[in-house]
Amino acid sequence: MLELMMTPVFWGSLATLTFLEIILGIDNLLFVSIATGKLEGEQKARAQRIGIWGAMLLRILMLGL
């Protein structure tokens, strides 16, 4: 396993996955902001928290599969 982690393919794949996760995280933030844009006050804050936590949990679940 350790020798697998020393290959350029591993590091290239890790860099690609990290880059995609960052881009998709930014995309989630934009979507949640747009989707909750018409809500007001505490309702907006609650919807944003639920959206961000939901996105993070789903991403972790999908990466674990």
The residue whose two tokens read 């998709």 is 24
pLDDT digits (tens, 9 = 90+) for 6-61: 899 999 999 999 999 899 989 999 999 999 999 999 999 999 999 999 998 998 89
What pLDDT, on the 0 to 100 scale, is given for residue 32? 94
CA–chain centroid gap for 18, Å, is 10
Q: How does DSSP assign 24-51, residue by residue?
A: HHHHHHHHHHHHTTT--HHHHHHHHHHH
Please choose, from the candidates 24, 30, 36, 29, the residue with its C-alpha nearest in 3D space to the C-alpha of residue 52.
Answer: 29
Domain range list for the chain: 33-65
State the Rg of the chain over Cα: 17
* Cβ–Cβ under 8 Å, residues 34 and 14: no
